[in-house]
Amino acid sequence: MSTEQHPSLVQNESVPALAVAAEPSDDGTELDRYAPSPELLAHIESFDNRFVDRELSWLRFNERVLELAEDESLPLLERTRFLAIFTSNLDEFFMVRVAGLKRRIATGLAVRAASGLMPLEVLRAIWTRADELSQRHAATFQMQIIPALRDEGIEIVRWADLERDEQKFCKKLFKERVYPVLTPLAVDPAHPFPYISGLSLNLAVLIRNPKAGKEHFARVKVPSNFERFVSLGNARFVPLEDVIGAHLGRLFPGMEVLEVHTFRVTRNEDLEVEEDDAENLLAALEKELLRRKFGPPVRLEVEESISPSVLELLTSELDVREEEVFRLPGPLDLRGLHSIADQPRDDLKYPSFVPTTHPWLAEVESAAPVDVFKAIRRRDVLVHHPYDSFATSVQRFIEQAAADPHVLAIKQTLYRTSGDSPIIDALIDAAEAGKQVLVLVEIKARFDEQANIRWARKLEQAGCHVVYGLVGLKTHCKLAMVVRDEPEGIRRYTHIGTGNYNPKTSRMYEDLGLLTTDVTIGEDVAHLFNNLSGWSRKATYEQLLVAPDSVRSGLVDQIHGEIEHHRAGRPAGIRIKANSIVDEPVIDALYLASCEGVPVELLVRGISALRPGVPGLSENVKVRSVLGRFLEHSRIFSFEGGGEPVTWIGSADMMHRNLDRRVEVLVRLPDQSRDEVRRLLDLAFASTTQAWELGSDAHWTRNSGEEHLQETLIERQRRRRLNS
């Protein structure tokens, strides 16, 4: 859809002039300060549809994931994995975003979104678009992936396709392992309709008593502690529900099985912990986690072969609307395709990739690990994961700090980490060695709450000081600080990153991290930890922007500064890399910059509520998206600065929750690290780099770039390893 089909996006009048006000400085001279005229602000605000709806933009993001599964140029098992990722993404979208929309509508808090749509309008659009994508997802699996896998000797078959010996194998498996786990639940006057847990796969079974001739309904839950696809040997697999469905006679002896249909319910699984409960946050959160299991349904997936009578029973008992029913070809719940994608077929996967140690952290003269503190004292180190190893940089930094007798204290934030985290072990070792250890654990990290509660208690038992941040705010920033006693005096070593302290996801998530001994940065981080653990309320910092106080205002000021530079004829330009750009004040500031002629380039992995290329509004804005084998996760904010470039990295996305309801940190990079990041952005925004381009109609189009950002960076890393 072009802008010509969006009359409300096209303005015929010329853009109003920009007013510039002059303010006297302390020494009496005038400072050029950006001040948009009321006419210019009114002009921008006259574009009623200047914001794309965030929920619909998210669905377009998941469509890009689906396009990767459809891309025949990608390795087959990677395409299979993208199908599983699409499923997981859509599940979480319904559990959180759709559930939130329904909750606002039900409680009467429905207000018009910045996109101009009411929540019910958004919900209806979601149902339509999500169903279309779900059908396309199922068709990709049935019509493309299954035949392609078969051609490569990997078969996913249904029960009717099994050989006799395979059926015998499944019969034995069912009898010895599956049958003892199953619990058939009947529905009759003595047995109310059973509770159906969220995302569980279930069989709806219609049976008949041959003597009485009476029909009954029963539900059988497919156990989740078995592989989703049963291996038959020789790279052949059958869905677990097919094995159960073929042996229902053992569950209902003496009864006739008339119909068997699979179904799956998605429930509201977002958490709500009242601030009044903050004094006993762990207890309040554990109570809410129990309540999560009983959230209201927000989606019902059924096999398209389901009979009208069984479907009517399910929708009635689950209180699901017709629009929330998704009829799909089986099998349902393709998250299990991860196990298929894990098959030992390297010829059907991305070429193997092993992160390497950053050159400035690599020891060339000895087999012993490098002294991280000595390396950081020599120069700041900017690590880029997964290309630079997390284990030999950030993890080693914490581990050496725990073992170093000169280290007096370690302070760290933990938002998400892995189940067997060496970071946790190192912090425990440090506390047990008598070091002061402060750990800020965010126990409200969505879907990791239970694990974080467990780690918080384990850390407390080891003697760590564990705090849970500020009331009403999630602590999302990624900070670690080591205080070391050295001959010259106390020195702070600081790590500020864009990603979690998670060794497992660091191999899949693209992130940046700065390791530095910069005194000003160290003092800023020390003050921030005091804010988070005590009663300090320092809101301004020298080298940091900290949400909710200063990230939005700081970035808007930087954008306004680029407008000033452009008007003065100095170099001006804005480049931002983020997971999502939704915040209206930031977007409007970018529109202002575009109206003034400042070039703006945005690299957005997920949601973009900004419309680029709209005449009179955003002709100078380009938005692109890169998806691939790694999840693009780093956040970068780069400004030309009139010839003195400024670049920030950190944890904050341009979303309301990040800027208003979370503790987020951006750090201004020192010159050398800044230049490294600017070269990375040059590659990301190059016309030869493959990406999706966003149009003014809010649709994404894949370009024909010859280079892929991630593969280019992998190749650079390989050359670096060969030359080391």
The number of beta carbons lying within 10 Å of the beta carbon of residue 249 is: 12
Sign of CA dihedral 215, 221, 222, 226: negative
Overall average pLDDT of the 138-147 stretch: 98
Q: Is the pLDDT of residue 369 over 90?
A: no
Angstrom distance (rounded) from CA 128 to CA 131? 5
Q: What is the largest CA-CA distance in the chain?
A: 101
Q: Of the residues 358, 476, 565, 633, which is catalytic?
A: 476
Q: Is the pLDDT of residue 444 over 90?
A: no
Q: Residue type for 586, please? A: V
Angstrom distance (rounded) from CA 448 to CA 446? 5
Q: What is the pLDDT of residues 672-719, one digit of tens each?
A: 999 999 999 999 999 999 999 999 999 999 998 899 999 999 999 988
Q: What is the pLDDT of residues 280-300, one digit of tens each?
A: 555 555 555 555 556 789 999
Angstrom distance (rounded) from CA 136 to CA 293? 30
Which has more pLDDT, 700 or 191?
700
Min mean pLDDT across 89-93, 111-115, 148-152 is at: 111-115
Which has more pLDDT, 21 or 292?
292
Min mean pLDDT across 4-8, 135-139, 268-272, 335-339 is at: 4-8
Q: Retrieve residue 606's tokens.
A: 């997920």
pLDDT above 70 covers what percent of the chain?
89
Q: Which residues contact 505 (CB under 8 A, 6 or more apart)?
A: 416, 418, 499
Q: Is the pLDDT of residue 97 over 70?
A: yes
Specify the 3-state DSSP secondary structure of 540.
coil
Under the banding of pLDDT at 50, 70 and 90, the label for residue 28 is very low
Min mean pLDDT across 442-451, 628-637, 653-662 is at: 442-451
Q: Is the pLDDT of residue 723 over 90?
A: no
Per residue in 405-434, is it b (16+ CB within 10 Å) or e — as a string?
Answer: eebebbbbbbbbbbeebbbbebbbbbbeee
Q: Is the pLDDT of residue 452 over 80?
A: no
**Do 438 and 410 meet the contact criterion of CB atoms below 8 Å apart?**
yes
Specify the 3-state DSSP secondary structure of 229.
strand
CA dihedral 599, 602, 608, 611 (to 10 degrees): 20
The three state secondary structure string of 366-421 is CCCCCCHHHHHHHCCEEEEECCECCHHHHHHHHHHHHHCCCEEEEEEEECCCCCCC
Overall average pLDDT of the 176-198 stretch: 88
Q: Is the pLDDT of residue 20 over 60?
A: no
What does DSSP assign to residue 173? Answer: H
pLDDT (0 to 100) of residue 505: 92
Q: Dihedrals φ, ψ of 480, to 5°?
A: -145, 135
The number of beta carbons lying within 10 Å of the beta carbon of residue 563 is: 23
pLDDT above 90 covers what percent of the chain?
75
pLDDT (0 to 100) of residue 357: 93
Give the CA distances from residue 94 to residues 101, 237, 269, 298, 303, in Å, rounded to whole numbers and listed in that order: 10, 29, 9, 7, 19
Q: What is the pLDDT of residues 222-269, one digit of tens each?
A: 999 999 999 999 999 999 999 999 999 999 999 999 999 999 999 987
**Do 319 and 303 meet the contact criterion of CB atoms below 8 Å apart?**
no
pLDDT (0 to 100) of residue 721: 74
pLDDT (0 to 100) of residue 277: 43
CA geometry: angle at 379 spanning 375 and 381, to 5°?
Answer: 80
pLDDT (0 to 100) of residue 4: 38
pLDDT (0 to 100) of residue 418: 61
Average pLDDT, the chain: 89
Overall average pLDDT of the 519-526 stretch: 97
Burial of 376 (0-12, 13-18, 19+ CB in 10 A): buried
pLDDT (0 to 100) of residue 107: 82
**Annotation says 476 is catalytic:** yes
* Distinct helix (H) and strand (E) counts, the chain: 22, 29
DSSP per position, 606-674: S-B-B--S-TTT-TTEEEEE--SSSEE--EEEEE-GGGS-EEEEES--BSHHHHHSEEEEEEEPPHHHH
Angstrom distance (rounded) from CA 75 to CA 699? 26
Model pTM?
0.90
